[in-house]
């Protein structure tokens, strides 16, 4: 009892000392940085923090948002159905609705405890002799673990986590979990031995229209493919096919920046995740070898009408970004300063000023704070999927935006991060960084415990 | 000793509360009575439906099928009003609430029974006896949530589909299921009639079980949700007001009406097999009015419950807002009754669209006014967010 009281006393004194001592006044931050989405910012920090339309869009778009929201949440069903607008699911799929993976417009988690999570999908391809890639012949571009009745699903994926222990220079220990994936119960033959597998988790989908509105040159100005400034950080653009015009465009969305715009991202998800055709992607998601076994009716062509595609696209473009929380307390401010000092901000580029947006004029000229450069970076061997995607190599990933990251726990009840949700929190995500971020990570490890906590507090204030 | 003192202190605090707090408590208690009675009616109507379905499946006939349909339509009237008790995580749609199992749509009809297609014929639950030998209420519940995804295969709309059948017509007209779908053998119009009977009976049993689970939570004088609800009038008032606002604007005006209106989407409507969507809308609007005014007209017996409602509470804070809400809600109910049937045809005609648009804008306004009422009562909610 006595020793307990004593240690409590010590703790209180320590806390008091900390709050009194040290550098008190960190550089004040600008008022605008409290509103990461500019005028497209919401001050709702509840479970619905990611679900609001940007307050500045037109009344007409507000109503289209309502329809987009409905189709984002609604389940698609087997064709033919009385609800003909919503039929044509599958035959192979990962999810029945967008919100199944982006629940409350938020972030998915691996969560394999309850059976395979739809929010974590697996892209597949095989290398060609010419150095390119092709879809896996039997299973296609993406593994579908679900199917409509009468059709066999592709199979299941098992995850096993291996705990890797490590220690900070100050002696504090940590543990990271490394996933191992195996495909089981394969129903369409064997997978080719040289198959390349890329796990991808569903991210929160706020502020996407604002990222679309960032001028391409502003992104390219951040690129340094040959590392001319010798900071160890390159930053390369991905160029990917724009299916509306058949041209190559700068990739902005997806874990490897493999989609040029929100509309194509949405259409690709309808096709790949739900087996639904649209005017952008007219095919079903079955491979030729699967088509021999699958003889189902379609929901008419296109299964996702242009009206629905447009509404869901608009919905995904205009979801507002939550305002910063606790941004101005001393701990967060110190964390923010450290974030810059150890060069996290070299890739997690704090801000842009948006240029014009062809569909949403209200998004022009906003100062936004997404904390991304939308470029590809070598993230090291430990995170590599070894599956090239467009110009992205097997060890490169796009810097994901950090806005909203601290509210994922409120919205989705978890704090997992990185492309496959392996990191259980911000700290682990930082510790997984390697490659171009190796230096920053090592500097993070050398910080004092309080400094580390403050840096994490800063990230969670975004 | 300390505990006793604390208890006394707490009691004093409660009894010292202002007059307004007392009326909050009265409003909450009256609300709980309405919820219980409304669910009680709903349960009884579902029991009556079950009775008709039992009679019909024992001896299928045109008349028997018609009686089932009538009972289903009646059952929807009281259920529709109970939706005023949604959107705050209460017994109906809290974490373990049965709402998704009771009232979800669109139904995955081809997952349950045959639909008009050669290719998918026989690949559904009813016609796959080898894969799914036993159809029971528990089995249906498990299929509804199979593979961490919801495949809507239970609830009111599953029963509706099994009674009316698929509605693939482009013009007016509900589903045209033949009662002989329930006759085994040569006379029958579809295979697996007995399994279809079982599915219909068991999904109705599941419906009764789910409704009963909600009903018991609202029962008076029990250790249940109601007890806790009444004990915390401040929080409960927030739930009541935000529930009404969300049903008005986000759900009814948005999800259920504007979406179909916007895309002129046939059958993208609540009760598409029976063409009963217009009545679903009226029932929701009536449910909102019930709660706002603190009164409920029983369906089964000819009696009315009446007590202090939100209107009375709000009037103390802002009389003109209370009046405006009262009138807007009344107008919403009146205008919703002018929407002609069937809804899926009305969204295509100019006259129908005008009436639907008028009703949608009233429901949206009503949601915004309820948000304004919340501000007056000292809290905030977003009526758009369901």
CA atoms within 13 A on the CB side of B2: 0
The 10s digit of each residue's pLDDT in B6-44 is 444 444 444 444 444 558 999 999 999 999 999 999 999
Q: Which residue of A has its CA nearest to B116?
A: A80
Of A64, A75, A85, the CB nearest to B152: A75
The 10s digit of each residue's pLDDT in B68-122 is 999 999 999 999 999 999 999 999 999 889 999 999 888 888 889 988 765 555 5
Average pLDDT of span B167-190: 86
Query: Tell me, what's the pLDDT at B145?
Result: 72
Domain assignment of residue B361, yes or no: yes
Task: Give the number of domains in chain B.
Answer: 1
Query: Tell me, what's the pLDDT at B22?
Result: 53
Q: In chain A, what are the domain boundaries?
A: 25-460
A297 contacts B125? CB cut-off 8 A: no
The 10s digit of each residue's pLDDT in A361-417 is 999 999 999 999 999 999 999 999 999 999 999 999 999 999 999 999 999 999 999
A146 pLDDT higher than 80: yes
B318 pLDDT higher than 90: yes
Q: How far apart are CA B56 and CA A15, in angstroms?
A: 74
Look up residue A194 and give its two tokens.
């040289």
Q: Could you give the percent of chain A with pLDDT greater than 70?
A: 94
B149 pLDDT higher than 70: no
Query: Tell me, what's the pLDDT at A14?
Result: 47
Q: Answer whether A150's CB lies under 8 Å from B120's CB.
A: yes
| 45-64 of B, contacting A, C-beta below 8 A | none
Average pLDDT of span A166-173: 97
Domain assignment of residue B202, yes or no: yes
Query: Tell me, what's the pLDDT at A4?
Result: 54
B120 contacts A297? CB cut-off 8 A: yes
Give chain A's mean pLDDT: 92
A96 contacts B272? CB cut-off 8 A: no
In sign, the C-alpha dihedral spanning A213, A216, A218, A220 is positive
Average pLDDT of span B337-349: 92
Average pLDDT of span A176-182: 96
Domain assignment of residue B8, yes or no: no
Q: State the Cα angle at A274 between A268 and A278, rounded to 5°.
A: 50
CA atoms within 13 A on the CB side of B115: 29
Q: How far apart are CA A259 and CA A241, in angstroms?
A: 8
Chain A residues with CB under 8 Å of B125 CB are 149
Higher pLDDT, A131 or B314: B314
Query: Tell me, what's the pLDDT at A7?
Result: 55
DSSP state of A92: E
Give the CATH number for residue B99: 1.20.1420.20
Q: Could you give the percent of chain B with pLDDT greater than 70?
A: 89
Q: Which of A25-39, A78-92, A142-156 is predicted least confidently?
A: A78-92
Chain B residues with CB under 8 Å of A81 CB are 106, 108-110, 115, 166
B225 pLDDT higher than 50: yes
A165 pLDDT higher than 70: yes
Query: Tell me, what's the pLDDT at A123?
Result: 97
Average pLDDT of span A63-84: 90
Higher pLDDT, A28 or A73: A73
Domain assignment of residue B10, yes or no: no
B325 pLDDT higher than 70: yes
Of A51, A87, A296, the CB nearest to B119: A296
Query: Tell me, what's the pLDDT at A17?
Result: 44
Query: Tell me, what's the pLDDT at B380?
Result: 93
A70 contacts B254? CB cut-off 8 A: yes
B236 pLDDT higher than 80: yes
Query: Tell me, what's the pLDDT at A446?
Result: 98
Query: Tell me, what's the pLDDT at B213?
Result: 98
Q: Could you give the percent of chain B with pLDDT greater than 90?
A: 76
Tell whether B383 lies on the interface with A, counting CB pairs under 8 A.
no
Query: Tell me, what's the pLDDT at A288?
Result: 82
Tally of residues, chain A: 462
Q: Which residue of B has its CA nearest to A310?
A: B263
Q: Which residues of A touch B (CB under 8 A)?
A: 44, 48, 51-52, 63-64, 66-67, 69-71, 74-75, 77-87, 95-96, 100, 114-118, 145-146, 148-150, 295-297, 305, 307-308, 311
Average pLDDT of span A13-37: 69
Q: Which residue of B has its CA nearest to A94?
A: B149
Domain assignment of residue B78, yes or no: yes
The 10s digit of each residue's pLDDT in A236-262 is 999 999 998 889 999 999 999 999 999
Can you give the pTM of this predicted structure? 0.88
Average pLDDT of span B302-309: 92
Confidence bin at A450 (pLDDT 50/70/90): very high
Q: Which of A143-147, B164-168, B199-203 is predicted least confidently?
A: B164-168
What residues are paired with A180 via a beta bridge? Answer: A160
Confidence bin at A114 (pLDDT 50/70/90): low
Q: Which of A351-355, A366-370, B152-156, B265-269 is predicted least confidently?
A: B265-269
Query: Tell me, what's the pLDDT at A286?
Result: 85
Question: ipTM of this model?
Answer: 0.82
Residue to substitute from B101, B117, B120, interface A, most A β-carbons within 10 A: B120
Q: Is A98 helix (H, G, I), strand (E, B) or coil?
A: helix
Query: Tell me, what's the pLDDT at B8?
Result: 44
Query: Tell me, what's the pLDDT at B82?
Result: 98
The range of the structural domain enclosing residue B95 comes to 22-377
> CA gyration radius for chain A?
23
B219 pLDDT higher than 50: yes
Q: Which of A454-458, B145-149, B245-249, B314-318 is predicted least confidently?
A: B145-149
Question: With b meaning 16 or more CB within 10 Å and e meaning fewer, what string describes A331-344?
Answer: bbbbbbbbbeebbb
Query: Tell me, what's the pLDDT at B59?
Result: 97
Query: Tell me, what's the pLDDT at A2?
Result: 53
Tell whether B267 lies on the interface with A, counting CB pairs under 8 A.
yes
Query: Tell me, what's the pLDDT at B118?
Result: 54
Query: Tell me, what's the pLDDT at A248?
Result: 95
Average pLDDT of span B238-262: 95
Look up residue A214 and give its two tokens.
């960032």
Average pLDDT of span A229-235: 91
The 10s digit of each residue's pLDDT in B180-204 is 999 999 999 999 999 999 999 999 9
Q: How far apart are CA A416 and CA A429, in angstroms?
A: 8
């Amino acid at each position: 009892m006595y020793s307990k009281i004593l240690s409590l006393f010590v703790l209180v004194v320590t806390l008091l000392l900390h709050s009194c001592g040290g550098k008190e006044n960190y550089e004040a931050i600008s008022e605008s940085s409290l509103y990461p989405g500019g005028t497209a910012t919401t001050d709702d920090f509840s479970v619905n923090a990611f679900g609001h339309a940007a307050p500045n869009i037109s009344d007409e778009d507000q109503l289209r948002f309502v329809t987009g929201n409905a189709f984002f949440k609604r389940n698609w069903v087997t064709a033919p159905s009385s609800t003909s607008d919503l039929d044509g699911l599958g035959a192979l799929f990962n999810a029945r609705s967008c919100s199944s993976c982006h629940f409350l417009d938020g972030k998915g988690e691996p969560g394999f405890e309850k059976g395979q999570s739809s929010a974590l999908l697996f892209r597949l391809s095989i290398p060609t002799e010419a150095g390119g890639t092709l879809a896996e012949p039997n299973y296609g571009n993406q593994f579908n673990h679900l199917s409509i009745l009468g059709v066999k699903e592709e199979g299941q994926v098992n995850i096993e986590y291996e705990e890797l222990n490590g220690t900070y220079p100050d002696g504090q220990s940590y543990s990271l979990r490394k996933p191992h994936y195996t495909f089981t119960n394969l129903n369409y033959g064997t997978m080719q031995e040289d198959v390349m597998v890329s796990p991808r988790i569903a991210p929160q989908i706020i502020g996407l229209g604002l990222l679309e509105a960032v001028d391409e040159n502003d992104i390219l100005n951040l690129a340094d493919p040959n590392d001319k400034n010798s900071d160890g950080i390159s930053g390369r653009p991905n160029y990917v096919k724009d299916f509306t015009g058949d041209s190559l465009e700068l990739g902005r969305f997806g874990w490897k920046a493999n989609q040029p715009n929100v509309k194509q991202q949405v259409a690709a998800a309808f096709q790949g995740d739900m087996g639904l055709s649209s005017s952008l992607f007219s095919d079903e998601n079955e491979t030729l070898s699967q088509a021999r076994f699958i003889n189902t009716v379609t929901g008419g062509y296109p299964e996702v009408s242009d009206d629905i595609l447009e509404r869901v696209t608009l919905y995904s473009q205009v979801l507002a970004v939550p305002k910063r929380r606790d941004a101005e307390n001393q701990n967060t401010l110190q964390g923010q300063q450290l974030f810059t000092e150890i060069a996290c901000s070299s890739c997690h580029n704090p801000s842009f000023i948006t240029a014009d947006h062809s569909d949403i004029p209200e998004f022009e000229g906003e100062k936004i704070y997404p904390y991304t450069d939308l470029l590809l970076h070598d993230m090291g061997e430990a995170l590599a999927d070894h599956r090239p995607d467009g110009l992205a190599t097997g060890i490169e990933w796009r810097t994901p935006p950090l806005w909203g990251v601290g509210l994922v726990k409120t919205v989705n009840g978890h704090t997992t991060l990185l492309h496959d949700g392996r990191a259980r929190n911000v700290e682990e995500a930082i510790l997984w960084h390697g490659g171009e971020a190796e230096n920053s990570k090592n500097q993070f490890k050398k910080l004092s415990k309080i400094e580390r906590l403050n840096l994490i507090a800063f990230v969670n204030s975004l | 000793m300390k505990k006793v003192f604390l208890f006394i202190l707490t009691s004093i605090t409660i009894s010292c509360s202002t007059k307004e707090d007392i009326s909050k408590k009265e409003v909450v208690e009256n609300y709980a009575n309405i919820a219980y009675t409304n669910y009680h009616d709903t349960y009884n109507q579902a029991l009556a439906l079950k009775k008709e379905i039992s009679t019909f499946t024992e001896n299928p006939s045109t008349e028997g099928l018609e009686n089932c349909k009538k009972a289903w339509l009646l059952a929807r009237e009281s259920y529709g009003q109970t939706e005023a008790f949604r959107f705050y995580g209460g017994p109906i749609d809290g974490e373990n609430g049965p709402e998704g199992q009771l009232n979800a749509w669109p139904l995955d009809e081809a997952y349950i029974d045959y639909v008009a297609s050669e290719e998918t014929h026989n690949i559904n639950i009813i016609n796959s006896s080898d894969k799914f030998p036993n159809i029971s209420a528990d089995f249906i519940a498990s299929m509804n949530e199979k593979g961490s995804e919801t495949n809507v295969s239970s609830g009111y709309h599953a029963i509706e589909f099994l009674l009316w059948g698929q509605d693939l017509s482009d013009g007016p007209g509900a589903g045209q299921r033949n009662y002989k779908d329930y006759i085994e053998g040569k006379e029958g119009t579809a295979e697996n009639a007995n399994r279809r009977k079982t599915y219909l009976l068991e999904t109705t049993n599941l419906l009764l079980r789910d409704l009963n689970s909600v009903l018991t939570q609202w029962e008076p004088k029990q250790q249940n949700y109601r007890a806790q609800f009444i004990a915390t009038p401040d929080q409960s008032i927030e739930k009541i007001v935000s529930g009404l606002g969300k049903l008005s604007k986000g759900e009814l005006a948005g999800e259920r009406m504007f979406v179909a209106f916007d895309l002129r989407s046939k059958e993208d409507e609540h009760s598409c097999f029976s063409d009963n969507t217009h009545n679903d809308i009226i029932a929701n609007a009536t449910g909102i009015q019930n709660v706002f005014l603190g009164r409920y007209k029983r369906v089964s017996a000819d009696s009315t419950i009446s007590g202090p409602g939100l209107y009375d509470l709000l009037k103390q804070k802002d009389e003109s807002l209370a009046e405006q809400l009262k009138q807007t809600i009344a107008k919403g109910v009146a205008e919703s009754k002018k929407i002609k049937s069937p809804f899926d045809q009305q969204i295509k005609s100019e006259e129908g669209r005008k009436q639907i648009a008028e009703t949608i804008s009233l429901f949206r306004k009503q949601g915004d006014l309820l948000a304004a009422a919340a501000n007056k009562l000292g809290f905030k909610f977003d009526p758009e967010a369901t």
